[in-house]
Structure 1
Amino acid sequence: MTDQCQYLEYRPLSGTGSSEEGGDSDGAGSQEPRAYCTAADTFVQAMRADVCNLRYGLDPETDCEFYRDAEGLPAASPGEGAEAEFDAGGESGAGNTGGASDTGGDRG
């Protein structure tokens, strides 16, 4: 396996109509390469690029719907991938299961 997803490329944002037209922060503006997913044909956020770069135990095969679509894999099931690890330590039953929501009205 490689160090990153086969569909990940880094491209400059120039010419995409980005909101970074001002370029007043560091002068690099839209010339700094950004994560681009060729499977989805779009730039992706840094957090999604973490999946593409196999960071934090994430894997495109189980954690990315763009990869799964491009490879013809079925949709991830709820207990698959990093989501399953998070759910195992997360909350397991939040919500109001008791009590009635309407307190008014008399029904015989």
Structure 2
Amino acid sequence: MHPITTVGASGTPDMARTWSYLKATWNTAMTTTHQSTTQTHSEWEGEVTQFVADGLEICYSDAAGIVEGQPFYVQQAWGKGLNSRETADKVLKECRDPS
């Protein structure tokens, strides 16, 4: 059984409760507050990608490949609540000087 599956009184999976749990936690897990605005992970990552594209003077799709190639730094930055500019700077630094 999947770890987030809830179980009803009869011991069988309760999919309605599981679905409610997923909906409630998804919005919480994928939204953060940066500078008093609520921003989804997708919006934030899009901004990170645009900052990388601007910083390297490359197209957005090439920048997306760079950002996707740095999942550790991107996930760490999201978890720490860094804004998109700070995250892009971290990604750019890692691209220029991988250690």
Q: TM-score, structure 1 length as denominator?
A: 0.24
Between Structure 1 and Structure 2, whose CA radius of gyration is higher?
Answer: 1
Q: Which has the higher contact order (CA 8 A, sep 6+)?
A: 2
* TM-score computed with the length of structure 2 as normaliser: 0.25
